[in-house]
Amino acid sequence: MLKHPCQCAERKMSGEEMRYMESEDMGKFKAKHKDKFNCAIRQKHISRFFILAVLMVAGIFLILPASTAQGWPFDEGDTGLGTTDRGMEDGMAPDANQPPVITDLESSPSSPQLAGSTIRWTARARDPEGEPLSFLFQVKGPYTGGSWRTIADWSSENRFVWDTGSYSAGDYEIKVRVEDRSLGEAEKIAYFQLTEPQPEPREIKEEARPAPVEEQPFVPTIISSPYQEENSYPDQSSYPQAVSYTHLTLPTIYSV
């Protein structure tokens, strides 16, 4: 049996209306349950906040009698709380690590000394956190060309022996670097002078002089030869000795 077209159209319109109504009801249902869900979450957070506030107030009331019995507030010098609080009030957090503090760097014997001497150096340092320290010693001067040269590498030993046998005279700088376990570092410089050794005076010894030789008169030595003729000299003692006249007066002769 054929149906009238108008009846089919009416049924079709009714189906669309029904789907629309179902979708509208579903949206209302979801919105309603969403509001309930949000309200439940909000109430849950409010309950937690309320519980936390109650616990904080209860803790404050529990701490106050105990602190009053122990004489709180404490002295700033005893606990150091005052310094921490003041730093937090200023908005600056305290340093995680403080560098070591070098109190002294001394030599024995003291400056100046002759080049070639043996010098003993000692460094004294402390760490605010009490961590173990390591030391490094360096030297700079004429012998090193004006640059730092390590003479005692990193170790826990705070002293070293400086042998200046190969060093030239001049002004030198000795530097110690101190480092803690947290890599906090500090350094200190001392000055030392090496002088030229004075030349030792030479002892002048007198040269041995030969004793003077007494001059002897030259006396010729007559060597007789078998071929030399013997000469006889008369004895001159028999001859009258010569008479010397100092003044002679002649007689005056007159002519007639």
How is residue 90 written in tokens? 């200023």
143 within a domain of the structure (yes/no) = yes
163, 188, 161: which is closest to 173 by C-alpha? 188
Of the three residues 166, 195, 224, the one that is the final residue of a domain is 195
Residues 33 and 75 in one domain: yes
Alpha-carbon separation of residue 54 from 60, 61, 63, 66, 98 (angstroms): 10, 11, 14, 19, 41
Which of 56, 77, 94 is where one domain is finished? 94
Q: What is residue 94's DSSP assignment?
A: P
Looking at the structure, tell me whether residues 80 and 117 fall in a common domain.
no
Cα gap 175→166, rounded to integer Å: 19
Q: Evaluate whether residue 209 is within a structural domain.
A: no
Task: Find, among 189, 197, 199, 107, the residue nearest to 141 by Cα.
Answer: 189
- Predicted pLDDT of residue 6: 47
pLDDT score of 51 more than 90: no
CB neighbours of 152 closer than 8 A, spacing ≥ 6?
Answer: 135, 136, 137, 160
pLDDT, tens only, 180-209 = 999 899 999 999 999 998 877 777 777 767
Question: Which of 150, 166, 195 is where one domain is finished?
Answer: 195
Q: Does 176 reside within a domain?
A: yes
Q: Structurally, how many domains does the chain consist of?
A: 2
**Residues whose CB is less than 8 angstroms from the CB of residue 159 and which lie 6 or more positions away in sequence, other chains included:** 120, 121, 122, 123
Q: In terms of pLDDT, which residue wins out, 247 or 147?
A: 147
Task: Examine the domain organization and report whether 44 and 108 are in the same domain.
Answer: no
Q: What is the DSSP string of 140-166?
A: ESGGGTTS-EEEEEEES--EEEEE-TT
Q: What average pLDDT does the segment 76-85 reach?
A: 48
65: containing domain: 10-94
Average confidence (pLDDT) over 68-88: 49
CATH of residue 141's domain is 2.60.40.3880
Residue 222 banded pLDDT, cuts 50, 70, 90: low
Evaluate if pTM is beyond 0.85: no
Q: For residue 138, list its beta bridge partners.
A: 150, 175
Q: What share of the chain is helix, strand, coil (3-state, %, to 5)?
A: 35, 25, 45
Residue 90 resides in a domain: yes
Residue 126 lies in a domain: yes
